[in-house]
Structure formats: C-alpha cells, structure tokens
Structure 1
Amino acid sequence: MLLRIFAAIGAAGSVLHTLIAGQTGNALETTGILLLRFLEYFFGAHIAYVLVMLLSTELFIRKSKPQEKPSKFWLWHLHAVADLLCFYARADVSITGTELIPKDTRYLMVANHRSLADPVVMVHKMPKEELTFVSKPGNLKIPIIGKVMHKCGCLPLDRENNREALKTVKAATEYIDKDYASVVIYPEGTRSKQEDMLPFHAGSFKIAQRANVPVVCVALRNTDRVIHNFPLKKTNVYIDIVGVIDAEYVKEHKTKETAALAQGMIEEKLDAEKKKESAAAKC
C-alpha cells in the first residue's frame, strides 16, 4: 500500500510538472497527456522498484549464510511485493476474525492450502503480524524468490526426511520462543486440487506443542481462482480466522487430536460458505 501511495504521489507530481511546463493543448489533448504522464510514472515506479529488488537479491543475499531470524528489512519488502501482486492480479482480499489473533503471545497459524497465492494474500492482509512461513524445500530453491524467502526467515520442511523435518520444527520453535515471529504452516503439506481438504499432518502441530503457544486456524477461499481470472476478471478472496486453539489444549492433547480439531474448525467454515453460495446461486 505504501509503495503504491509513493508511486501515486510521484505520478501526481509528474502531472503537475506537465501543467506548469505548459505542455497542454485543447481539453481532450490535455486530458490525454496528463493521463499518460500519470500512468507512465505510476507503473514506471513499480517496475523500477521490482528491478532494484531483483538486483539487490542477486548482489546481497547469500543463501549459504544461515539466517538466524527473519530480517525486518526484507519482511517490509515482502509486504510491499505482496501488495503489488494483489493489486496487479486484481485480487480483492477481505479478512474477518482478526480480533481473535492473540495480541500478547506468538502463535502457530494454520490454514488450508489452495494456491501459490495463499501466502501472498495472507501477508497482504496481515501487515501488522510478524509472520514467517514453513514451506516446501523446493520453493526456497526458486531463483530470486527463494533468496527473499530465506531472508524473511522462511523454513524448509522436508516431510520425507524426519531428521531435517525435526530441525525445521526446532527452528520454528526457536523463532517463537525468542519472539522473532509467529509461524505459518499449511498442514495439508501440499495444495489441494479438489474442493475437499487433504488430511492435516499431525507433525505440523509439534511446533505449537513445543513452543507452548496457541494455534490460530484460518480458512482461505478463492485463492485458486486468482490465476484463472487474471487479467480480465477481479477475484474476491476471503481470509476467515475461524478460531484459536489455546496453548493449554495443545499441551495436554496429542498433536493428532489438535490437528483434527483445527481441520474441523476450518472445514466447518468452508462448508458453511459453500452452502451460502449454493443457496445464492439458486435464487
């Protein structure tokens, strides 16, 4: 949002300069020139920003250097890029239930996984929450994106390698214990290509159990439609924070039970919204 405001201010300045310089003709020509100048500067500023970011990642980020904690500098830029992606992808994102997010403690946030856009919309709509993500190891190998994820403290989770998975759980727990960030994970383990959710992996909840923190449950809707609708159609995306499982419950119950409870809360919300959509379609 802030980046778009700066670009708009700069574009307005360019328009003002055009007026002062007297580069005007009749009313139609004037309108066309001013609009062109505004768009030229607005989009040019965004392109310049992205190019500078791409160059910076190549020059200054070394993934071989361990990242002890998420970089606030790169987290700020992650939010800026998420804002731009949602803006240009025409994703109109709404969020409910933010009042449920714990204010006095870190937490583990879990959500259903529908699309690559899931973390983007979550970062976009929760700018005040210091979040870092647990992701597939392959995502951190993506050129440029992987480097930014590394600096933002994103952690690779190899579910096929128990030893490496345990390292990730320990690292995520440390982020929470040291108050560096709250952690987001998608317990399905991969994107669900069907309407129904995949079973939650109970191991994902070991992070909350070890750190003795609550679990924030999030239902995501329509993120899978963003790419299909782009660029001709706007997509209404919904983030619903459906509930919080308190730390005491997480501590006293098996991770399998916590996983079942979290998935049930999310599925209940998704099913309710699906019924509303079906009823509305019949009207």
Structure 2
Amino acid sequence: MEKMTLIDDRYLTDPQAASRICRLFPSLFYYSRMAGIVLRASRLAKRNAYGDDLWVLDSWRIVEALERVGVRFSIEGREYLRDLNGPCVIVGNHMSTLETFVLPCLIWPFTKVTFVVKRSLVEYPVFRHVMVSRKPVLVERINPREDFKVVMEEGKARLGAGLSVVVFPQTTRTTRFDPEEFNSIGVKLAKRAGVPILPVALKTDAWSNGRFLKDFGPINPDKMVHIAFGAPLEVTGNGQAEQETIIGFIQEKLESWT
C-alpha cells in the first residue's frame, strides 16, 4: 500500500503502469495474474493462515494487475474514511465484480471491513475459502424479507465487533443506476446499529459482466475506473433524507463520469 501515491487525497493511475504487451490481450493477462493471486490466497485460507494484511495486500495486487493491462483508476474521498472514529455502513451502487476485489485495500487502512454478499460467492471453487475467511454477511437473494432479517442481525453484530460493513442495495450488478432499485437497507442497518453511513459511487465497467460467467467478463482498458467516497451521514428519523442524499451523491458522480 505504500505504492499508493495520493495527490490532494486523490489517487490516479501512473500512465507508466501499463505494459504494451499486456494491453494487447488485457483479459488474458489479467485473469492469469488474478488466478495466481486467488489460488495462493485460497491455499492459505484453507490453512487458516490468510490474515487481514494479506487480504489487503492481495486487493492492492488486483489493482496493480488491472493497471498493468491498461485499466486506469481515479479514486477520491478516502479522507472521509480516514476521519472516521469507528465502524460505519458503506453503501454504494454495484456495477461489477471489481469493487469486491478492490474496495478492501481502499477501506481497510482506516477501518476493518466486510461485505454483504450473495451466498453463491462462497460456493465458487477455490474462491470460497477466501470469502469465508472474511466473515461476510451472506444473503440468498431469494426471499427479501429473510435477507433483510439476516442483514439487520448479522450486520449489526459485525458492526458491534468493530467491522464496517459494505452493502450494495441493488439486487444485481448493473451499469445503469436506477434509484427505484436502490433500496434503503444500508440506511436501516446504520440506524439500527447506531453508526454513520458513508456513500460510495462506483463506475467499474472496465471489468464487464461475463456472458457465461457473470462475475468474470472481458476487461476493457479503454474505460476508466472511478471510485468516490462521500461524507459520512448520521441517520435521523426514518432515514429518508439520508437515503435521498446517498442517491443524489451517486447519481451526480455517475453523471460527471459519463
């Protein structure tokens, strides 16, 4: 993480990071590198030897692997994470698999973190050992009422143990942001746990959804990755005002990046 050079609290990919050869076949070179990272992590996780520091380091290695094939990153707003005094709920739009891999190295230096994820992610061969080691909150994406109960109970428990929780309220990954599909489960969790909620806007379609395996689609280095964290909010009343502020933040950022 010492390689993450910030200018005015913003990270921009060094233009020299890309390899001309790798850029010719970005998906091939990236996924071969990613496979090595995940396989090594899985072996360690199976032996209960995959700790927090290694997870964060591997998350950064994913950033470097993407940059190596030409993907550029613009990351802003991490000062809001730095100023936190405890765990929080982090809520954002869900565009691709990229954010699950990359967000740990951006968040963990300031607050320990885990994710609310669909159960199928812990059933992938190899990858499941890594996911289980991170103590995620697992939802089925079948029964919304049951998922809500799980997030409220287990999410609150993670927050009480000092872990921030990342929530993607949309039921599926999509490049189109529809406020109607962005439910208020993150706001409700923050309210119940008595912690702030911090928005994050994500434009990560450089890692596209796959045709056969949705989690692993083509890598497009012509698309820049944008990640922006917003100021934390204290949830008051029924949380409607905070929900609208979060949606407005994400919409504004996505529009500015098009």
User: TM-score, length-normalised on structure 2?
Assistant: 0.71
C-alpha change, 1:147 and 1:47, in structure 2 (3 Å) is closer
Q: Which has the higher helix share?
A: 1
Conserved? CA contact 2:230–2:249, under 8 Å? yes
C-alpha change, 1:230 and 1:159, in structure 2 (3 Å) is closer
Mapped to 1, the partners of 2:185 and 2:35 lie a distance apart of 41
**What is the letter of the counterpart of residue 95 of structure 1?**
I
Q: Which residue of 2 aligns with 1:126?
A: 107
C-alpha change, 1:273 and 1:212, in structure 2 (3 Å) is same
Q: 1:120-142: CA deviations, max 9, x gaps?
A: 22123334031111011111211
**What is the letter of the counterpart of residue 166 of structure 1?**
K
Q: Which residue of 1 aligns with 2:150?
A: 167
Q: Which residue of 2 aligns with 1:12?
A: none
Conserved? CA contact 2:38–2:127, under 8 Å? no
Q: 1:134-164: CA deviations, max 9, x gaps?
A: 0111112112222211111111123433235
Aligned residue pairs total 215
What percentage of aligned pairs have identical amino acids? Answer: 22
What secondary structure is seen at the aligned counterpart in 2 of 1:89?
helix
Q: Which residue of 2 aligns with 1:116?
A: 97
C-alpha change, 1:74 and 1:200, in structure 2 (3 Å) is same
Mapped to 1, the partners of 2:253 and 2:91 lie a distance apart of 14
Shift of 1:255: 4.3
State which of 219, 223, 237 in structure 2 corresponds to 1:230.
219
State which of 51, 56, 60 in structure 1 corresponds to 2:47.
60
Matched, 1:97 2:77: yes
Mapped to 2, the partners of 1:117 and 1:137 lie a distance apart of 18
Conserved? CA contact 1:112–1:197, under 8 Å? no
For structure 2, list consecutive stretches of 5 or more residues without a partner in the other structure. Answer: 4-32, 209-216
Shift of 1:176: 1.2
What secondary structure is seen at the aligned counterpart in 1 of 2:231?
strand
State which of 251, 261, 271 in structure 1 corresponds to 2:255.
271
Matched, 1:253 2:237: yes
Matched, 1:74 2:75: no
C-alpha change, 1:147 and 1:270, in structure 2 (3 Å) is same
Mapped to 2, the partners of 1:47 and 1:187 lie a distance apart of 28
For structure 1, list consecutive stretches of 5 or more residues without a partner in the other structure. Answer: 4-44, 62-70, 275-283
Shift of 1:111: 0.9
Q: Which residue of 1 aligns with 2:20?
A: none
Q: Which residue of 2 aligns with 1:176?
A: 159
Mapped to 2, the partners of 1:49 and 1:136 lie a distance apart of 22
What secondary structure is seen at the aligned counterpart in 2 of 1:175?
helix
What secondary structure is seen at the aligned counterpart in 1 of 2:228?
strand
